[in-house]
């Protein structure tokens, strides 16, 4: 087994220290930095660092519920047909099947703690997306790992 390979099983006990990902596993996905905080069969948690002007276009997790706890900055969110904002201390809930997106449209970086349940194939997807620069390839690989992006132009303001 590779040193940084993620093997899901029961949630391991322990503490993930501040400013540290679990086993220091991080990914660069189209300008975002994701740091794993916890991984198990039942859930997957990661912290994001999102520079101004970055975002994740509208997509759906058909098999996972997703949450975001906003740590810093303001997220502009698309939630099932409506645009909203959330700031530090807010928790965003996105049930499986709900079309959603998030963007940093501000002038300072944002940080959020994301988690999905069940874990599904999201960590595997991040491994595949790490350092990719082609958005079309990101969409193609995402579909293979149960994340479905909406067609470009299907959401006004995205």
Among 75, 82, 143, residue whose Cα is nearest residue 110: 75
When divided into structural domains, the chain yields a total of 1
| CATH number, residue 93 | 2.60.120.10
The tens place of each residue's pLDDT in the chain, 158 residues long, gives 344 556 567 777 877 777 665 456 899 999 999 999 988 989 999 999 999 999 999 999 999 999 999 999 999 999 999 999 999 999 999 999 999 999 999 999 999 999 999 999 999 999 999 999 999 999 999 999 999 999 999 999 89
Residue 14 lies in a domain: no
Q: Distance of CA 145 to CAs 68, 112, 115, Å?
A: 20, 22, 16
Residue 64 lies in a domain: yes
Residue 155 lies in a domain: no
Residue 70 lies in a domain: yes
Residue 5 lies in a domain: no
User: Which pTM was predicted?
Assistant: 0.87
Residue 73 lies in a domain: yes
Containing domain of residue 55, as a range?
23-146
Q: What is the rounded distance in angstroms from the CA atom of residue 66 to the CA atom of residue 132?
A: 23
Q: How many CB atoms lie within 10 A of CB 134?
A: 10
Residue 11 lies in a domain: no
């Amino acid at each position: 087994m590779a040193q940084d390979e993620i093997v899901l099983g029961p949630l391991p006990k322990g503490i993930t220290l501040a400013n540290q990902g679990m086993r220091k596993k991080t990914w660069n996905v189209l300008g975002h930095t994701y740091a794993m905080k916890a991984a198990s069969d039942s859930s997957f948690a990661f912290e994001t660092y999102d520079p101004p002007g970055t975002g994740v276009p509208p997509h759906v997790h058909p098999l996972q519920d997703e949450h975001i706890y906003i740590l810093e900055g303001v997220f502009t969110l698309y939630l099932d047909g409506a645009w909203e904002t959330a700031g530090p201390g807010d928790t965003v809930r996105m049930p499986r099947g709900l079309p959603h997106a998030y963007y940093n449209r501000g002038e300072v970086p944002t940080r959020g703690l994301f988690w999905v349940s069940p874990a599904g194939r999201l960590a595997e997807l991040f491994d595949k997306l790490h350092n990719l620069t082609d958005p079309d390839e990101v969409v193609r690989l995402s579909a293979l790992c149960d994340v479905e992006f909406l067609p470009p132009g299907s959401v006004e303001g995205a």
